[in-house]
Amino acid sequence: MTPELKEQLDNLMKQHKVLVFMKGNKLMPQCGFSNNVVQIFNSLGVPFETVDVLENPEIRQGIKEYSNWPTIPQVYINGEFVGGSDIAIELYQSGELQQMLEIALAS
pLDDT at 100: 94
| Inter-residue contact 77 to 17 (CB < 8 Å) | yes
pLDDT at 51: 97
* Overall domain count for the chain: 1
With 0-12 CB in 10 A as exposed, 13-18 as middle and 19+ as buried, what is 31?
A: middle
pLDDT at 47: 95
pLDDT at 107: 78
Per-residue pLDDT tens digits for 33-89: 999 999 999 999 999 999 999 999 999 999 999 999 999 999 999 999 999 999 999
- Taking residues 7-11, report their average pLDDT: 95
Instruction: Kindly indicate the confidence band of residue 1, based on its pLDDT and cuts at 50, 70 and 90.
Output: confident
CATH number of the domain encompassing residue 98: 3.40.30.10
Full domain range(s) for residue 61: 3-106
| Nearest residue to 67 via CA among 82, 86, 51 | 82
